[in-house]
C-alpha cells in the first residue's frame, strides 16, 4: 500500500474545488463532451482506478478508491466476496447520479474512503472493484453489473416525473401540507412493470416522493411550533428598580 500523502474525498468533510474561469462558449463545451463520449472506451483489464484496503488502528478496514482517469468517476460496483459470483446480495452499487452511497463524482487524482459493511460478529469480507463508470462514458466490468446503474437512473428519473406531476396537481388544487403528505405516501405504479426490481432502483424510485413527504411533515411541525409560541401570552415587563 502506498504511504505517500494523497487528497481524500470523504463523506465526513466537504470539499470545495475552485476552477479558473475561461471564456469557453456553451457550444464548445458541448462539443468537447460529445467528443469525449465518442472516445470513451471499455477497460477489460486494469481500469484507471486504484482500489486499496486500508487497515486502521481500531481494526475496522476501509476501502480507498482513487480515480486515475482524466474524467470523474461517477459510479462503481464493489463485490464483497471475490470467490462468489456477481449477484445482488454480493455486490454494492455506489452512484453519484442517484445519490446511492456516493454524494458526488470522484475527480481525477482524488480518493474516496468508505467503510466495509459486514454483519456484526462475522469476519470482514475482502472486497474487490467489480465495475466502474466514468463521466465520459468509459466503463469497466461485466455487462450485467454495468446494466444495473442505468436501470436505477431510469427509475429515479421516472420517480422525479411522478413527484413533479404530484406537486403541480397540488398547486392546481391548492392542497394543504397534509394532502401533499398523503399523496406522497401512496405507492406509485412502475413505468415499466416488466422491468426487474433491484435494490438500487427500488430506493431511487421512491426517493423524490419520500423527500416531499418528509419535508411536508417537517414544515408542518415547525410551523405549529412557531404558531404555538406566538399564541402564548407575552411575559409582562419587569418593573424598573428604584
Backbone angles phi, psi at 218, to 5 degrees: -65, -40
Q: What is the distance between the terminal CA atoms of the chain, rounded to a whole angstrom?
A: 76
Question: In a structure prediction context, what are the per-residue pLDDT tens digits for the chain, which is 242 residues long?
Answer: 444 444 444 433 333 333 344 444 445 666 766 766 778 899 998 999 999 988 877 777 889 999 999 999 999 999 887 666 666 667 889 999 998 889 999 999 999 999 887 666 666 678 899 999 999 999 999 999 999 999 989 988 988 898 999 999 999 999 998 898 888 887 654 444 444 444 555 555 678 888 888 888 898 899 889 989 888 776 767 776 66
Tell me the CATH architecture of domain 42-141. Answer: Sandwich (2.60)
How far apart are alpha carbons 36 and 240 in whole angstroms?
75
Give CA angle at 92 (87, 98), nearest 5°: 120
> Domain-by-domain residue ranges, the chain?
42-141, 150-231
Q: Which three cell numbers stand for residue 60?
A: 475496522
Scan for cell 418528509, then name that residue.
214
Amino acid at each position: 500500500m502506498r504511504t505517500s500523502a494523497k487528497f481524500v474525498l470523504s463523506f465526513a468533510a466537504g470539499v470545495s474545488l475552485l476552477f479558473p474561469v475561461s471564456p469557453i462558449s456553451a457550444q464548445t463545451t458541448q462539443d468537447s463532451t460529445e467528443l469525449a463520449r465518442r472516445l470513451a472506451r471499455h477497460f477489460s483489464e486494469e481500469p484507471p482506478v486504484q482500489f486499496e484496503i486500508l487497515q486502521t488502528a481500531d481494526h475496522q478496514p476501509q476501502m480507498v478508491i482513487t480515480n486515475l482517469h482524466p474524467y470523474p468517476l461517477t459510479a462503481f460496483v464493489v463485490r464483497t466476496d471475490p470467490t462468489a459470483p456477481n449477484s445482488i446480495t454480493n455486490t454494492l452499487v455506489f452512484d453519484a447520479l442517484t445519490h446511492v452511497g456516493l454524494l458526488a463524482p470522484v475527480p481525477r487524482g482524488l480518493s474516496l474512503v468508505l467503510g466495509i459493511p459486514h454483519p456484526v460478529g462475522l469476519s470482514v469480507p475482502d472486497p474487490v472493484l467489480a465495475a466502474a463508470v466514468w463521466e465520459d462514458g468509459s466503463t469497466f466490468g461485466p455487462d450485467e453489473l454495468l446494466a444495473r446503474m442505468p436501470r436505477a437512473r431510469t427509475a429515479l428519473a421516472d420517480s422525479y416525473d411522478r413527484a413533479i406531476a404530484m406537486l403541480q396537481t397540488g398547486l392546481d388544487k391548492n392542497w394543504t401540507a397534509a394532502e401533499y403528505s398523503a399523496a406522497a405516501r401512496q405507492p406509485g405504479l412502475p413505468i415499466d412493470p416488466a422491468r426487474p426490481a433491484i435494490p438500487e432502483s427500488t430506493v431511487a424510485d421512491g426517493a423524490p416522493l419520500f423527500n416531499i413527504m418528509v419535508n411536508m411533515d417537517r414544515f408542518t411541525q415547525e410551523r405549529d411550533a412557531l404558531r404555538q409560541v406566538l399564541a402564548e401570552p407575552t411575559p409582562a415587563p419587569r418593573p424598573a428598580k428604584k
